[in-house]
Structure 1
Amino acid sequence: MKIKALKWLSAVPVAAALVVSLAACGGGAASTGSSSPTNALEGSDQQTLDKYTTADVTALDKIDKSKLGLITDGTIRVGTLSDAKPNIYLDSATGEFTGYDNELLKAVAAKLGLKVEFVSTEFSALLAQVKTKQFDVGSSNISTTDARRENVAFTNGYDFGYLAVVAKTDGKAKTFADLKEGVRIGVVQGTVQDDYVTNTLKLEPVRFPDYNTVYANVKNGQIDAWVAPTQQATGQVKEGDGTAITDKIVASQNFAAWAVNKSNQPLVDALNAGLDAVIADGTWTKLTVKWLDRPTADLQLPGGWKPGSKAVKVAQ
């Protein structure tokens, strides 16, 4: 399936982008202002999220594709990012969107007999674009939280996350304990990491529109540390950059899922059915090992976490 990037969404107004942002702020390359940040991590513990995981799913042969409310019949139009390796990114060599989340979504779509069309956007705009039906699905390793559920629906979970500190190897801030007043902390605007720094650490981060930009500011010393999703940090940090992933913690209490318009339950049900199918046949495990470097069950399923519905068994 050869999917090319489209560019027209880069001009989405900031005001619309911030409708579902976790911490409202101005646009631009970086922003330090914040108005009444919300606690998007509220309701993100595993016990609370468990109530959103379905007991089972609809059988694949019972899915009515004519009822999925797709923008284009037979094709799932997906908003995704271009710079968040290894989960969601644009391969510069092929011009195709790939990464763990997107390859998994392609496998799910194949189970449903659907095509996938990817479109590039920024994370701060993505959930608003799903809400306003510019996309059928948002794919960006999105942590599901109560605040986000007010604006979009989510599938069952397919991944969990780690939080990481990325810093200069000779810098002053290298651990989560070092993140205090006076430390310039970078985050990507509207992410759970933004909320973590703002509402858990009670600090004001420097907000950036994308992963490439925040990482560039770590390298050039404009910020002291980047609080990042570990997987995206791994995709950014290169030997010789003078930077490193200096600390990380497991965050399995926030499962990641695909976002869907709240009015489109048939599409949520279909994606859940496809997800269970790729978990049961071993595709989920294969992609998790390949893209996320988690070769063992302990790494894939920490603390009792598992993907998909409550009924599906994870093939190893």
Structure 2
Amino acid sequence: MKLKKVMAVTMAALMSLAVFAGCGNKDNANSSEVKLVKEGTLTVGLEASYPPMEYIDEKTGELAGFDIELAKAIAKDMGLEVEFVQVGFDAIFAGLDADKYDVAISAISVNKDRQETLALSDTYLANQQVVISAKDGKQIKSVKELSGKKVAVQVGTTADEACQYYQEKEGLEFDLQQLDDMTAAFLALKSGNVDCVVTDLVVGDYYVNNFPKDYVKSCDKLTNEPIAIAAKKSNTALIAEINKSLKSLIDSGKTSEISKKLFGEDLTKNIDANLKNYDE
């Protein structure tokens, strides 16, 4: 009887190993190398006033947008639950360092500074900085035309950094209004309190396409900075696993499906990986 029990236990153990071996990315996500704030959960930091990337759906009161759907798909592919933590964008990277969440999936533009200070995933969305002007106002068609104008940006973004550079290094004089969220920036433009908004292409196009009587894209490609997922610099093992899931979602057409649904076009293919900073 003892021998039969030993054999039964051994067979059960082997079957358990076989089950776990077949779990794919789930095993990798829970391995000792991958550090998660909460076991079995991908905790995601984001700033939820950045449509169509991440925002609160007024009808449902729920988080919505490209990054929300992407985060859920990545977590599912990794065999994890997903949990979202809302934070001001100007504090989003400090939250990574403080282990308040595992990753930031919040329209994180890639530039050289962020490559040095963060662990970044492969890029998943094409992006550049653009200028949005009022349809019935003065349309800003170049960086030099920012002079003497009131310019709105979301604080802590690469648009904010670019505008500060134009002021400090290129000597342009304009009133830079650093607002807490992008919704406030576009409301300020609509009401005439600012002359233009500098923002990401996907966000600018969202407002232009949804409110064509109010806004126009008057200047584009100030920079080229595709979008990626960010983790704290030391958490490269997690980013490696996220890259595997990203590739799986791209290969399956899932990212293209989300992009076409939200943007009307596929911005996940043919991404220009040649970074162009505002100082170039």
Q: Are 1:164 and 1:245, in contact at CA under 8 Å, matched by a contact in 2? A: no
What TM-score comes out, normalization by structure 1 length? 0.70
Pair 1:66-2:31 in alignment: yes
1:91 alignment partner AA: D
Aligned pair partner of 2:149 in 183, 202, 215: 183
Residue 172 (str. 1) matches residue 143 (str. 2): no
Q: Secondary structure at the match of 1:66?
A: coil
Structure 1 residues 218 and 281: CA distance shift in structure 2, 3 A = same
SS in 1 for 2:127: strand
SS of equivalent residue, structure 1 residue 253? coil
* Cα deviation, residue 304, structure 1: 5.4
| Number of equivalent positions | 245
Task: Look up the match of 1:263.
Answer: 234
**2:83 match:** 117
CA gap 1:302/1:199 in 2 versus in 1, 3 angstroms: farther
2:249 maps to 1:284: no
Residue in 2 that maps onto 1:221: 192
By how many angstroms is 1:303 displaced? 6.7
Report the CA distance between 1:249 and its aligned residue.
2.4
Judged with a 3 Å threshold, the aligned counterparts in structure 2 of structure 1 residues 239 and 112 are, in CA distance, closer, same or farther, namely closer
CA contact (8 A) 2:55 2:64 kept: yes
Q: Name the SS for the 1:179 alignment partner.
A: helix
What does residue range 1-316 of structure 1 map to in structure 2 within 5 Å?
60=25, 63-67=28-32, 68-176=34-142, 179-200=145-166, 202=170, 203=172, 204=174, 205-237=176-208, 243-250=214-221, 253-295=224-266, 300-302=268-270
Q: CA deviation at 1:240?
A: 6.8
| Structure 2: gaps of 5 or more residues | 1-23, 275-280
Tell me: CA distance 1:300–1:118, structure 2 relative to 1, closer, same or farther (3 Å).
closer
Whole-Å Cα distance in 1 between the matches of residues 268 and 78 of structure 2?
A: 25
Q: Which runs of 4+ in 1 moved over 6 A?
A: 238-241
Structure ID, larger Rg: 2
Say whether the 8 Å CA contact 2:226–2:272 is kept in structure 1. Answer: no
Gaps of 5+ in 1: 1-58, 307-316
Letter in 1 for 2:193: Q
Residue 129 of structure 2 contacts residue 224 of structure 2 at CA under 8 Å; is this kept in 1?
no
